Amino acid sequence: MSGSVPDPKPLSISETPIPGLLVCELPVMGDNRGWFKENWQREKMVALGLPDFNPVQNNVSFNTKKGATRGIHAEPWDKYVSVASGRIFGAWVDLREGSTFGRTYFTELDPSRAVFVPRGVGNAFQTLEDSTAYTYLVNDHWSADAQSRYVFLNLADETVSVPWPVDLADAEISAKDREHPRLADVPPMPPRRTLVLGANGQVGTALREALASRADVDFAGRKELDLADPASLGRVDWKNYSVVINAAAYTAVDAAEESGRSDAWRINAASVAELARLARENDLTVVHISTDYVFDGSREVHTEDEPFSPLGVYGQTKAAGDLAVATAPRHYILRTSWVIGNGQNFVRTMANLAGRDITPNVVDDQIGRLTFAEDIAAAIVHLLDSGAPYGTYNVSNEGPAQSWADIARDVFTLMGKHAASVTGVSTAEYFAGREAAPRPLNSQLDLSRLRATGFTPAPAQERLARYVATLETAK
């Protein structure tokens, strides 16, 4: 392409039959000196729908003669291919695991056209002119280990039938490229996986159930990955993952004030900051569970953009973790309150007391809503699957706000006991004479941002009744 180009076409991005493979039409401006183009312009291209794929390496393949042919290679990263000089015939074959395996797309590229190639889509080209310079950006650094994860397809495969302009018998092709397997013998490239940390806790257990049908999810409990040891994160091969869900945390609120202070900071803040760094470096979506304890409870309803005001060490460490996670470009922070799931929790304790005819004193000046772990898990799946905007979302169950004493009375009633068996006391009275962390008195969370994504949690009292019934059945 040389000489004057008086009317360059506008920048545009269009889809192809291969999901995620996008064609970019690039404005090329020329005069008697030659031409100029913006080959990669992140702000404009992302606005038009190109993934923000964070390229880290730029490669150039110079091809001396017409007919030089390279491919078909599916690589374990995204790439953006273009031409600096000359022309090519490009061929792409979907080699990813799934229903589109084997699907093809062909087009010519000159300096005015580029193609975004997602991970796992086989890429090949044949030069149509001498002295063709083929360039590409990738979002991972090449290594011998990475090359071991390539998937290859033979250029002459009869199934995909690439219409090469220059017959392959006359083309310049490497010996390796001539020896690649036919489509029937190609192992599809598996998708990047999802990793759930803290998989044995209340939320982690609920995620095991919610994601039980998924073959692309790995679950790590404390034995497999201990966040008390931040270095353990460095032993994970993050290139295999696209999403990490952090359901692990130090939650001993009172111990965090004294004996557990260092553990709380290490697990809730330092390790989370390291996880956020890894997410940035490896192009991960990170999902993180937060808490109402990042607020002091002075507002009637807490919104997602309320400034942090933690009262104690636990809340301070969780707020620090939230700030770290927010540095990852793709993140979901789910702020919860009063979590109930599998394992020891307030509802189970009250049901046990009711079953033993014990009449407890329960705090009645802390107000909020229960959040059942199954609904946290469902919200996580919804946000990920729906492509909801990244950011922070409050997540609790629906329904009227209650005190802990109100909930205890509901549990007693569901257990067939008298609600009057529960005596309400203030927080100060309950903890009199004991060392205890300060607690927010109001934990009501505004759920409008979550609802706007199309997800509405179940009413808390409906979930409570079902949960207590399972305890009765177990007993």
| Selection from 81, 118, 92, 45 nearest residue 283 by Cα | 118
The two structure tokens encoding residue 10: 């506008």
Within a 13 Å sphere around the CA of 230, how many CA atoms are in the beta-carbon half?
A: 17
The two structure tokens encoding residue 280: 């940035």
Find the catalytic residue in 80, 136, 250, 332: 136
Any residues with CB less than 8 A from the CB of 431 and at least 6 apart, and which?
Answer: none
The two structure tokens encoding residue 456: 């509405």
Residue 465 CA to residue 246 CA, distance in Å, equals 28
Partnered with residue 101 across adjacent β-strands are: none
Q: Assess contact for 287 and 382: CB atoms under 8 A.
A: no
CA angle 150, 151, 154 (to 5 degrees): 130
Three-class SS string for 170-189?
A: CCECCHHHHCCCCHHHCCCE
Q: Assess contact for 394 and 434: CB atoms under 8 A.
A: no
The two structure tokens encoding residue 357: 């005819």
Q: Assess contact for 230 and 207: CB atoms under 8 A.
A: no
Q: What are phi and psi of 120, to 5 degrees?
A: 90, -5
Active site residue 136: yes
Find the catalytic residue in 73, 288, 302, 331: 73
Any residues with CB less than 8 A from the CB of 356 and at least 6 apart, and which?
Answer: none
Q: Assess contact for 291 and 335: CB atoms under 8 A.
A: yes
Query: Residues with catalytic annotation?
Result: 73, 136
